[in-house]
Chain A
Amino acid sequence: MAQPDSKANEELHWQKTTRLMFIHLGVWFFFGYVIHMFVVPLNKIVIPILGFPLGFYMAAQGSLIVFVVMLFMFARQQNQIDRDHGYAEED
């Protein structure tokens, strides 16, 4: 493990944090906007049994589920990065 106080460690930690941010923002942008731009073609697909048109479903539930799962994952991943670099809070 790197020295917590070294400049290199600090920079690497921030680099990883920034990368994680961009990945999550990308997912967020895709499910918040991009997918809903294709609502008309998606609505032609109907989810079997439940009966939802897919485009409507993605906006009403699909994207929301993604956001919730994403936030729990983000909390874990960022915490892991902090711990790897010795910046996590003492338990």
Chain B
Amino acid sequence: MATDTTTAADAFYQQLGRMYGTYAGGFIGFVILLAILEQIGVPNKVLGYLFVFFTLAVYAIIGVMTRTAQLSEYYVAGRRVPAFYNGMATGADWMSAASFVGMAGTLFLFGYDGIAWVLGWTGGFVLVSILVGPYLRKFGAYTVPDFMAFRFGGNFARFLAVVVLVCCSFTYVTAQIYGTGLIASRFLGMQFEIAVFAGLVGILLCAMLGGMRAVTWTQIAQYIVLIIAYLTPIVILSTKKFGIPIPELTYGVAIAEITAREGQMLASNLATLCTPTSCPAGSLKPHIEPFINYSPLNFFGIIFCMMVGTASLPHILMRYFTTPSVKEARDSVAWSLLFIFLLYFSAPAYAAFSKLEVYTNIIGSNVSALKPWLFTWGELGLIQICGKSVANVQAAVDACKAIAGHTGVVRLQDFVINPDVIVLSTPEIAGLPYVISGLVAAGGLAAALSTADGLLLAIANALSHDIYYKMLDPNAPTIRRLTVARVLLFFVAVASAALAATKPGDILAMVGWAFSLAMAGNFPVLVMGIWWKKATTAGAISGMIAGFGLCLFYLVCSRYYPGIGVKYFGMTSLLNPVTGGPIIPNLQAAMALPNAMESWPTLAHPLANKVGWFNLNNINCGLLGMPLGFLVIYVVSQFTKAPSAEMQAFVDEIRKPRGQTVLQEKS
């Protein structure tokens, strides 16, 4: 019996290359088929539905086929996912709606300063591989809290780790489900709230039945879709414009053209330059000029927080629990970054091509000559002309006439675009067929779904394995543990969908917060637990509480209770990176307003996100919490009894790849 399953499984792993190769070919064939359908006159909406439902059906089929009722398969995919494929799965797990949809838009708006996110979301894998990942693999845990519990004296450390995990994963997953809803509502014309719950069904089908095993094999399928979808439009654009199908090489010329065009626009009064003395909204910030959207502190702060956050996010770390060996865990991190790199080093090309297009064909043209694609987004309120969301040419002309002295030519300050539109609208800007737009939507959906799967699984596993099995009922039989995991998964998913359906405001900021929270709570304990044998239980626990607490306090206070922050905690206005002056010129006047001390329910507090310490943006709260965490662990460990000889031997053991995992799970 045992040998039978082993041979069947071996055959499965041997055929992986052929299976996913066929799948990728099939997907490309499907896109070509839809392109033909478009040419013979099938309406766009039908194409959109075909794209979304076909891809969702494939993910669901993979999810159902690879379902499992075995513990180690459910939690760590049986620890036999080869490095290369685990890299692909991690790529999909990692790249969320924020990367796929939001990144290029941020680069479009912020130019050089936006690259902080690109650097931060790639360089962190260096830390994963060198400091944390392979050691956790050797330890042999099912979840990150498992490690904390073993190394730091039991369930209290486990509980703290679960709190950190749930806090950061939940803020993150809500952003993904929101992204799913956004794409489904735009391309299928569904109502947003319904679209959110429709996306949820797709997520649950993969994650609920098969746990980590099913999620792994669907994430690989999702990676293939998302990378094809992301690269196709810019490859076509680059070929059309420069005759070379490698956009990453050709966009340098586009950047030079943008800089030249910026000069022209200033010379012909189509734009005003943002200078340290005057920088009104809508003024020109040159694309390649650094530190005019983020101050150097916040620029490097974002890079640092995103990097360290990467090495602390449980849903990423647990992907490296699934490889067959420690060596493969290390190889797998390298493959992950390679697959992620393919998307991230292309994102600035998206930004450059669409910015050049906007600067040359929209700015400086007559309002009455604007292209129709602008108005489909204008209707949704995502593009504004002359300060109004306009649905047709006449409305745009009227809106501009209402501005005193307007000549009827679009100036830079007349055109406002929501960053999320850039990737989704690039095919239209470039005049590509609708099938490419549908492809991009399917890719965005794959990105959001795959990340949501990984995050929900991380939360559900922590609740079922760490809280239920390890803390509440250690004698629970396998069947009951898996049932609890599935039921919890369902409720967590519904809760985050319900939150997403209320359209919480600053989604991108929420993703940033997740990283900072993970960084402050997890990074010091993980690193000290592995690299410093003398780190004690008391040190680790107080370090976690102090670091995570400070980060959470700074975040919540500056976001939801800015009045209290200013009055009692000495927070001051953040500074404008260009002028160096405060964003809120008269803080005392703002504090004298009747609603200044109001809080949580008033989400639109006028001071929210605008106050803080040391001019530090609250996305970077990990920059306060993490050093404090390290310091507290170090100091408290000096004054408490050193860990036992067994514990120190255990730390030696996880440093050597050879041999059994430290933690042995009875199955």
Contacts and interface: CB of A to CB of B under 8 A. Distances in A.
18 contacts: A21-B131, A28-B127, A31-B123, A32-B123, A40-B290, A55-B288, A55-B290, A56-B112, A60-B345, A61-B248, A63-B119, A64-B341, A64-B344, A64-B345, A68-B337, A71-B129, A78-B330, A87-B657
Interface in A44-63: 46-47, 50-53, 55-57, 59-61, 63
Interface stretch (B249-257, B572-580, B590-598): B249-257
B325 interface: yes
A75 interface: yes
Contacts of B252: 47, 50-52, 57
Contacts of B125: 67, 71
A5 to B, nearest CB: 10
B-side interface size class: 35 or more
A10 B126 contact: no
Given A24-B130, A32-B303, A50-B253, A59 B112 contact: yes
Contacts of A24: 126, 130
Given A17-B655, A74-B130, A89 B325 contact: yes
Nearest to B113: A59
Interface string A22-39: 001100100111001101
B290 A39 contact: yes
A10 B655 CA distance: 9
Contact of B658 (A31, A51, A88): A88
Contacts of B115: 56, 59-60
Given A36-B303, A89-B327, 10 more contacts: A32-B126, A33-B300, A39-B112, A43-B288, A51-B256, A53-B288, A60-B348, A64-B122, A65-B345, A71-B337
B129 A82 contact: no
Contact of A82 (B130, B290, B344, B656): B656
Contacts of A87: 656-658
Interface string B276-320: 000000000000101000001000100110010000000000000
Contacts of A28: 123, 126-127, 130
B331 interface: yes
A68 B307 contact: no
B392 to A, nearest CB: 37
Nearest to B303: A32
Contacts of B288: 43, 53, 55-56
Q: Which of B130, B131, B304, B344 has the largest number of chain A CB atoms within 10 A? A: B130
Contacts of B300: 33, 36
A5 B537 CA distance: 28
A76 to B, nearest CB: 9
Contacts of B652: 10
B523 to A, nearest CB: 14
Contacts of A71: 125-126, 129, 333-334, 337
B658 A89 contact: yes
B118 interface: yes
B657 A89 contact: yes
Contacts of A14: 655
Nearest to A70: B126
Interface in B610-660: 652, 655-658
Contact of A32 (B253, B307, B337): B307
Nearest to A18: B531
Contact of B327 (A46, A60, A79): A79
B61 interface: no
A72 B348 contact: no
B330 A75 contact: yes
A39 B294 CA distance: 14
Nearest to B249: A50
Given A50-B249, A82-B656, A87-B657, A59 B255 contact: no
Nearest to A24: B130
Contacts of A90: 658
B494 interface: no
A10 B653 CA distance: 10
Nearest to A23: B130
Contact of B345 (A10, A13, A17, A61): A61
A56 B118 CA distance: 12
B360 to A, nearest CB: 17
Q: Which of A67, A70, A88 has the largest number of chain B CB atoms within 10 A? A: A67
A68 B338 contact: yes
B62 interface: no
B448 interface: no
Nearest to A49: B252
Given A21-B131, A32-B307, A63 B333 contact: no
Contacts of A21: 130-131
Contacts of B348: 60-61
Nearest to B652: A10
Contact of A75 (B255, B256, B331, B344): B331
Contacts of B326: 89
A79 B330 contact: yes
Nearest to A82: B657
A13 to B, nearest CB: 7
B260 to A, nearest CB: 11
Contacts of A75: 129, 327, 330-331, 333-334
A28 B129 CA distance: 12
A61 B348 CA distance: 9
Given A24-B126, A61-B248, A89-B658, A52 B112 contact: no
A33 B307 CA distance: 11
A51 to B, nearest CB: 4
Contact of A56 (B126, B253, B255): B255
A37 B129 CA distance: 25
Nearest to B125: A71
A51 B226 CA distance: 29
Contacts of B255: 51-53, 56
Contacts of A70: 126
A48 to B, nearest CB: 10
Contacts of B296: 37
A78 B133 CA distance: 13
B341 A68 contact: yes
A67 B658 contact: no
A46 B253 CA distance: 11
B126 A67 contact: yes
A13 B657 CA distance: 12
